[in-house]
Structure 1
Amino acid sequence: MDAAEVTKLVEEALPGCEVQVQVDGTHYMVVVVGDVFEGLPTIKRQQMINKALFQHVMDGTIHALHPRAFTPAEWAERQG
């Protein structure tokens, strides 16, 4: 599964979010930025991303998933 496929799945599950995916074999780093995460704790944010990719984690296509979720303000702050 390539980065574009993962991006599409997450964008479909979380419309209006910006999605960035880095792939290293079966390890996926997924960064999602969107207003949908406003006021939510980290674990809830990660669960939302995990849900979009759950089937592919369960079937082994994605061996390791590292979800990161930010609001636009949090992302802007991280970018300096």
Structure 2
Amino acid sequence: METEAVAELIRIGLPGATVQVSGDGSHFDAVVISEVFEGLTPIKKQRLVMETVKPQIASGELHALSIKTLTPTQWADQGQG
């Protein structure tokens, strides 16, 4: 899989999210910034993102995905926004 394909799957599953993905074809790192994460526990945030790529993980097309989830406020607080 290509990094942009992974990013697009996440964007489709979480409309309005800002998504940055890096990786080598089977192992990927994603940073996902979305207002939908507001008030959610870290595990719920992870599950929301993983749900967007579930078929690709089940098929083995996507082997590993490391996820960092942030709200827009958290992103801005890190000096990124």
Q: How high is the TM-score relative to the length of structure 1? A: 0.92
Distance 2:26 2:44 in 1: 24
Instruction: Provide the residue aligned with 1:13 in structure 2.
Output: 13
Distance 1:25 1:8 in 2: 15
Aligned residue for 1:31, secondary structure, equals: strand
Q: How high is the TM-score relative to the length of structure 2? A: 0.91
Counterparts of 1:60-75 in structure 2, within 5 Å, are 60-75=60-75
Are 2:7 and 1:26 equivalent residues in the alignment?
A: no
Cα RMSD after superposing both structures: 1.2
Cα shift at 1:12: 0.6
**5+ unaligned residues in a row in structure 2: which ranges?**
none
**Identical positions, percent:** 38
The superposition leaves residues 36-78 of structure 1 with CA deviations (integer Å, 9 ceiling, x where unpaired) of: 1000010000000000001111111111111111000111112
Most deviating of 42-51 and 52-61: 52-61
Number of residue-to-residue matches in the alignment: 80
Instruction: For 1:33, give the aligned amino acid.
Output: I
Instruction: Provide the residue aligned with 1:38 in structure 2.
Output: 38
Distance 2:25 2:11 in 1: 21
